[in-house]
Amino acid sequence: MGPLGGDVRALVADPVRLNVLYLGTADGYIYRSQDAGEHWRPFGRVANGVVTAMVVSADVSGELFSSVWTAEQNGEGGGVFLSRDRGKTWQSAGLAGHAVRALIEAPSDRSILVAGALDGVFRSNDSGKSWKRITPLGDLELRNFDSLAIDPQDPEIIYAGTFHLPWKTVNGGKSWAPIHGGMIDDSDVLSMEVDFSNPQRIFASACSGIYQSEDAGANWKKIEGVPYSARRTLVIKQDPSNSAILFAGTTQGLWKTNDGGARWHRISPKDWVINSILVEPSNRASSGNNRVETSAAPARLLIGTEDRGVMGSDDGGDHFLAFNEGFHHRQIVSIAVDARKPGTVAMVLANSPDRIVQTEDGGLTWSSIDAGLNGRVVTRFFSSPVGWYAALGSGGLALFDSQTGKWSSPKDTDAFDFVVNDIAFAETVWFAASPAGLFVTRDYGLTWNVLPFSSGNLAVDSVRVSPDAQKLRIISANAMVFSDDAGKSWSWHDLPLDSGGAIRLEFLANGTLLAAGRNALYVSRDDGATWQKLQNGLPAAKPDDLLIRDDHWLVSMHDRGLFLSQDQGASWSRVKEPGDAGAYGNLSILASGVADGLIYAGSSNDGLYSLDLLRISASKAAESTPAGK
């Protein structure tokens, strides 16, 4: 269901199949386009890390290399990875455990690959089959490499940018010399580009701005025109059909020069953060999106942004459109479904310029509903009998006014400052779980009062309530606390010792409870008196979220996907995932669409999905019907 977009870290074109493009994300996923970026398809995952660069083999083999950088518990790691099936499956191609921040192929010898890592520069002369370190081991300066460039005529001449300054070798790494004359000291060299028409001219982008050298790096001159506020230039790219045209991707938009850097102008909105730039060949065939097909279309400019996905222009940057069809790499923080309006869903997003979005047509279109929050962080989202409620990270709640399209606090925020972990709604009585205890409101959220359940008024992680507001089930301090008289009296319950403690709870009117422990799922069919671990078909993993609706029980198991039971927990089967990229194992946040009969699942990296339980039930019934009946 979308929404489209996400964080793009690498873009590359296939030099043989001109319309085939590849996209790499900040969490290791690869997307492929076969129509010059008009449509994308998730294809595979390299590793659990940032895809820092990609190289496509310039032959018919379909080999694709990716470099990866990962943050690990004991430091930083990564490596170089190879796909022989155009991105579907991956295997290590060397430098395992090295945090590889840059990867490049020699233009004059396609068998030569050079990788820049935090601990040095490495070179392969046999297309990644073997690697050799070409910087001194343990050198205090030749480390923390962030960018690379190779002379287009001589593969022995390599330029390498570090977190500190640039370096150069003219003999394939046998010796290195610093080349930072004219650069501001301690400049993090983020990108380097050798002019294809004149190898003596080098461009370097750094945290201190853009530099140009006319003598192969011996001396540098800072290029003026890009303002100080946008000086952190993450990537610089030359138009392959016109050496005078350069694009600079900064943390404050995309800049362009038509005269080799003498004059620059910004061609994108200021709030775009540009991670990668791809200028496609001018003989690309245009298709889709109502664009005119031609055998000699103008060069297409595509940029990978931090949170808006892929943006593109077919007129040199005068106008941009989103090129995100099929690319919905969004991180869902919280979901709410309007029980009164089919297809109406709102979500909190983590990697998006629009922090809260809403659809009223089942995901066909999405709109931002951020107005009135004034920069305040939203941690949870709820659908109440009177509209959307948002739990604020700083404490309190905000109510969305659908008439004005803005958020406001339902009462004075100074008197309503507790953090909300969860809310359970009966028709006229609502309960809020908070680190400050359990709160209740009987006037649709205008006033809240503490509802004691223990002498110390412990923190409450979650709360559930029956429609008549008599039965309350809460999680506090890894234990479950029940009330059958609207909170007048309480009883404490525990899961078995090997559960690790309770973290989530759902219940049915017949006394059936489903509880998520820290390492397994449990069921009680006698209102919490006894508990049974559920295992038949479930993997040994932590349940992230759970949802029960009559005969359909659904649980998301951490990094294992969604599991469904249609026999009240006796057996479980994994919900078949859409697509074939394996990018859907992180569907972990569940919500029920009462008005449309759907289950909604939000992922940590791939947007929102809807699950039609009626169709699943019909399919199961058909499978169980004997042949000929």
- Report the pLDDT averaged over residues 361-368: 93
Q: Can you say how many angstroms the Cα of residue 397 is from the centroid of all Cα atoms in its chain? A: 26
Summary mean pLDDT of the chain: 88
Q: Are 243 and 260 in contact (CB under 8 A)?
A: yes
pLDDT (tens digit per residue) in 593-621 = 777 778 888 888 888 988 887 676 656 55
- DSSP letters spanning 408-472: E-SS-GGG-----SEEEE-SS-EEEEETTEEEEESSTTS--EE---STT-----EEEE-TTS--E
pLDDT (tens digit per residue) in 525-561 = 999 999 999 999 999 889 999 998 877 899 998 878 8
CATH superfamily of 1-97+281-292: TolB, C-terminal domain (2.120.10.30)
Per-domain residue ranges for the chain?
1-97+281-292, 331-414
pLDDT classification of 585: cutoffs 50, 70, 90: low
Token duo for residue 72? 């690990």
Q: Cα–Cα distance between 240 and 15 in angstroms, integer?
A: 12
Q: Cα–Cα distance between 487 and 499 in angstroms, integer?
A: 26
Q: Are 528 and 472 in contact (CB under 8 A)?
A: no
Q: Considering the entire predicted model, what is its pTM?
A: 0.87
User: Out of 115-129, 194-208, 253-267, 612-626, which region has the weakest mean confidence (pLDDT)?
Assistant: 612-626
Could you give the dihedral angle defined by the CA atoms of residues 293, 297, 303 and 307, in that order, rounded to the nearest 10 degrees? -10
Q: Cα–Cα distance between 372 and 220 in angstroms, integer?
A: 48
Within 266-370, residue ranges assigned H as helices are none
Give yes or no for residue 338 having a pLDDT over 70.
yes
Q: Are 6 and 19 in contact (CB under 8 A)?
A: no
- Report the pLDDT averaged over residues 414-439: 87
Q: Cα–Cα distance between 259 and 348 in angstroms, integer?
A: 44
Beta bridge partners of 147: 161
pLDDT (tens digit per residue) in 145-164 = 999 999 999 999 999 999 98
Contacts of 184 (CB under 8 A, 6+ apart): 206, 208, 209, 222
Pairing verdict, β 587-593 and 422-425: unpaired
Give yes or no for residue 289 having a pLDDT over 50.
no
Backbone angles phi, psi at 265, to 5 degrees: -145, 145
Q: Cα–Cα distance between 589 and 366 in angstroms, integer?
A: 19
pLDDT (tens digit per residue) in 200-215 = 999 999 888 889 999 9
Contacts of 48 (CB under 8 A, 6+ apart): 27, 28, 70
Q: Are 29 and 583 in contact (CB under 8 A)?
A: yes
According to DSSP, residue 623 is labeled H
Per-residue pLDDT, 226: 77
pLDDT classification of 417: cutoffs 50, 70, 90: confident
Among 2.40.10, 1.10.3470, 2.40.160, 2.30.30, what is the CATH number of 331-414? 2.40.10
pLDDT classification of 411: cutoffs 50, 70, 90: low
Angle at 79 between CA 76 and CA 82, to 5 degrees: 155
- DSSP letters spanning 356-382: EEEESSTTSS-EE--TT-TT--EEEEE
Per-residue pLDDT, 578: 61
Give yes or no for residue 626 having a pLDDT over 60.
no
What is the helix (H) or strand (E) element at residue 619, kind and residue range? helix 613-624
pLDDT (tens digit per residue) in 437-459 = 999 999 988 889 999 887 777 89
Contacts of 615 (CB under 8 A, 6+ apart): none
Q: Are 97 and 106 in contact (CB under 8 A)?
A: no
Q: Cα–Cα distance between 111 and 126 in angstroms, integer?
A: 5
Q: Which of 53, 5, 51 is nearest to 28 (CA)?
A: 51
User: Out of 5-14, 90-99, 220-229, 266-275, which region has the weakest mean confidence (pLDDT)?
Assistant: 220-229
pLDDT (tens digit per residue) in 165-211 = 999 999 999 999 999 999 988 888 999 999 999 999 999 998 888 89
Per-residue pLDDT, 43: 86
Backbone angles phi, psi at 251, to 5 degrees: -80, 0
Which residue, chain included where needed, has tokens 């100074």? Answer: 414
